[in-house]
Structure 1
Amino acid sequence: MREFAHLGEMVAHLATMAAAETLALHHGLKKCAVAIEKTAKQEIGEYQGEVGPFAGWVELADGTKADRLAQGFTENDPLLRNGKLRASISHQIHGLDAVVGSDSDIMVYQELGTEHIPPRAVLGPAAIRNKELILKTLGQAAAEGLLYGAGSTLTALE
């Protein structure tokens, strides 16, 4: 147990612990967001099975396959034409908030589906596929932040 010479020393230590906790969680969120982004990008062009509440991707319609071929693309690589949709996926970290998403309207249509397009969710399934990493990383980050000053370091998140 740590002992303090005076109340001011304890207050300073608690403030340092709070900052260490925030820093550790920020680094953990960054690691998780990068993993989700990478997984989402890898899903583009490959049929995905059902995961969690997200349905598996249905085969492209024959008309879509023919249109893809006519435009010079491969016949059967769902969501992949010129790579712009994949490139639109990114992440942002602001303090203790992480966002993985796309600024493409096409991603919204594919993620949710439309009257003519069945949903081919990418972002939600990518998060679910990284569930174990997320739990382990954020749990470790929380523990390391709380243990700051107890002889532990934040190196495990690097």
Structure 2
Amino acid sequence: MVRQFKTIEGFIGHLTTRGLAVDVAVHRGVEEGAALIERDTKEQIGHYLDGPEPGLPTAPLADSTIDERIRLGFTPDDPGLRTGDMRESYGVRISEAGPVVHASIGSDDIKAVVFELGRMEQKNYQPPRPELSVAAFRNEHKIVRRIGALAVRAMCGLPLPNQREGDE
């Protein structure tokens, strides 16, 4: 059902009554988007990335790194994936619902930071492997569309769907 308003004041009044619902919808969309980026980042670790995004394709592992991985009992050619601890260190933090919602996706593990950004020291060079950046870039349009769709539902007075984006 399409609502029509005779005045801009009527439209503003309608949006004012929907404010809290819109805040909740935006929060839901940001939360789902952050979870999607986190999931894709975790899935990418251990694989070489290729594509048009900045920093891609990712560089192959150095022979010395492959030799070290084998010596330590790990698979030879899975970048960033040894025990899985670094991959599992990624998480999400979301601010409370409100007119502005902030999301942080990342890891507190310094290895994940170095993995993402690289290390430029001459004797200890490691090329950047922008897993998090690529996951965010690849999902940006999907996340924006989802947040918009949830906000529109809230503005129209429709309930938010129970199933979240990405749920099976």
Q: TM-score scaled by structure 1?
A: 0.84
> What corresponds to 1:137 in structure 2?
146
Report the identity percentage: 34
Cα distance 1:58–1:110, how it changes in 2: closer, same or farther (>3 A)?
Answer: same
Number of residue pairs the alignment of both structures matches: 148
Matched, 1:154 2:160: yes
**DSSP 3-state at the match of 2:146:** helix
Alignment partner of 1:101 out of 89, 102, 106: 106
**DSSP 3-state at the match of 1:130:** helix
Cα distance 1:54–1:139, how it changes in 2: closer, same or farther (>3 A)?
Answer: farther
Deviation at 1:102, TM superposition (A): 0.6
Q: TM-score scaled by structure 2?
A: 0.80
- Contact 2:115–2:129 (CA under 8 A) maintained in structure 1: yes
- Contact 1:93–1:99 (CA under 8 A) maintained in structure 2: yes
**DSSP 3-state at the match of 2:49:** coil
2-structure distance, mates of 1:88, 1:119: 18
Structure 2 portions without partners, runs of 5+:
6-11
- Contact 2:15–2:155 (CA under 8 A) maintained in structure 1: no
Letter matched to residue 142 of structure 1: A
- Contact 2:45–2:79 (CA under 8 A) maintained in structure 1: yes
C-alpha RMSD over aligned residues: 2.1
Letter matched to residue 37 of structure 2: I
Alignment partner of 2:129 out of 78, 101, 120: 120
- Contact 1:80–1:86 (CA under 8 A) maintained in structure 2: yes
Deviation at 1:147, TM superposition (A): 1.7
2-structure distance, mates of 1:87, 1:49: 22
